[in-house]
Amino acid sequence: MVADGVVNCGLVASGACAGALLRYGVHDVAKSRAAFGALSGPAAICTLNVVGSLVLGAVAGAGASPRASLLLGTGFCGAFTTFSTYSVDALTLLQQRNYPALAAYVIGNNVLSIGGAATGMRLGNAARSAVSLGRGRPP
């Protein structure tokens, strides 16, 4: 079963590579646009975490195969989202004594990410149900 382990590692690595590159690109573009001024970095991280939570919820809700879960969940979403950057951003806002931004960031990140995961799970469940119904139709 070494071959299975190699394939699984390849799936995680492939998904992680894509997720990390996309995260870098989105974060870089958001910071260069400075739409939120000094908060552009935290706003981008919050967006990445919410979108990643939505995608992971959809993967889980759709009942993805173990290998699809490794590629999309562990690999892609694991690298696309970032708890460590979220934590450092929150501490930076705390050190700057920017309490309103800190509260909005922490509450928004958690509430919106959980909401994204719930929405994704509902969408995944709906997609799985639609596929199941499609298989039951006569030719």
Instruction: For residue 36, give the H/E element and its range.
Output: none
- Residue 31: the pLDDT is 76
- Contact between 82 and 23 (Cβ < 8 Å): yes
Q: How many CB atoms lie within 10 A of CB 98?
A: 16
Six token digits for residue 131? 């596929």
Burial of 14 (0-12, 13-18, 19+ CB in 10 A): middle
Residue-by-residue pLDDT tens, the chain, 139 positions? 688 999 999 999 999 999 999 999 988 887 777 666 666 788 889 989 999 999 999 999 999 999 999 999 999 999 999 999 899 999 999 999 999 999 999 999 999 999 999 999 999 999 999 888 776 554 4
User: Which DSSP category does 1 fall into?
Assistant: -
User: Which DSSP category does 139 fall into?
Assistant: -
Q: Give the predicted TM-score (pTM) of the model.
A: 0.85
Six token digits for residue 98? 């920017």
